[in-house]
Amino acid sequence: MTDVIVVPEGPIVKGSDRRATVRSRPGGSGANQAVWLGAMGADVVFAARVGHADKTMYENYFRGLDVVAILAGDREQPSGVLVTIVDPDGERSFLTDRGANLNLSPDDLSETLLDDVGMVMVSGYSFFAPGPRAAVQRLFAAAKARGIAVAVDPASVGFLLEVGAPRFLDWTQGANWIFANESEAEALTGVAGYEAQMRVLGERFDTVLIKRGRLGAALGGRDGVRVEQPAPQVVVVDSTGAGDAFAAGFIAAHLAGDDEASALAKGIAAGARAVQSIGGQPA
């Protein structure tokens, strides 16, 4: 995706002007996670579909950020675009044109992507359209056959509410890990409170991580919370990509051999770093 990030200087004036900071850069949840992983020294392969005209530019961009990008070029649709409007408190609203993402196909996700891989991380956005869903589900099955851990990030509470929790949980069957914020966890479980949400999601996933924003994060499973930690107090400039940074920080530490408490702390630290600058990738 191309992220267009808009930070107005005040409330939007309908029918008139408002000064704003506007930035455009490569983004999208999966791309953000890949770039954060690369910045943390992890070996990472990023697979996606983009507009054919942008393919070389994106490959060079990711190469410069220590990410191996395996990109399919779409001759029918341009690269997707996500417009993010950031409120004064750092909260975000999104306008999404998924573009070439909607044409992601099983042929774009070859099983060779799994060679020497320790974990497959899939953005929940991939499940909300039939073509991409079929592509990632086939990759899920191939990873499971090889004994590779599979993680999913629900990505969008709006889309979750639109399709319904039972359908999404059915689509993601076989995933071992889930990285969800409290709103996504509530949409998936129908219960409030991260401790109860942890137990319900633990019936479906071996390991559950619930991101709690300024309150930190928790990790556990069907028996409840095993580890929870607070977040440091920082000035929030833009919360775009904070969850992606958290996931990358945790995964990089976990695959490097850190225990759960240490990996969780590194995930929280990455999320706190992310909210202190504009955009979803390391400043």
Residue extents of the structural domains in the chain: 29-75+103-274
Whether residue 255 has pLDDT greater than 90: yes
User: If you average pLDDT over every residue of the chain, what do you get?
Assistant: 93
Instruction: For 112-129, write each residue's pLDDT tens digit.
Output: 999 999 999 999 989 989
pTM of the model: 0.89
- The confidence score (pLDDT) of residue 240 equals 78
Q: What is the CA radius of gyration of the chain?
A: 18
CATH number for the segment(s) 29-75+103-274: 3.40.1190.20
CA triplet 125, 131, 135: central angle to 5 degrees? 80
Instruction: For 4-28, write each residue's pLDDT tens digit.
Output: 989 899 888 889 999 999 988 888 8
- The confidence score (pLDDT) of residue 203 equals 96
- The confidence score (pLDDT) of residue 280 equals 81
Cβ atoms of 177 and 147 closer than 8 Å: no
Cα 41 to Cα 99, 144, 168, 256, 271: the distances in Å are 31, 26, 32, 10, 17
Cβ atoms of 59 and 41 closer than 8 Å: no
Distance of alpha carbon 173 from alpha carbon 192, whole angstroms: 23
Confidence of residue 141 (pLDDT cuts 50, 70, 90): very high
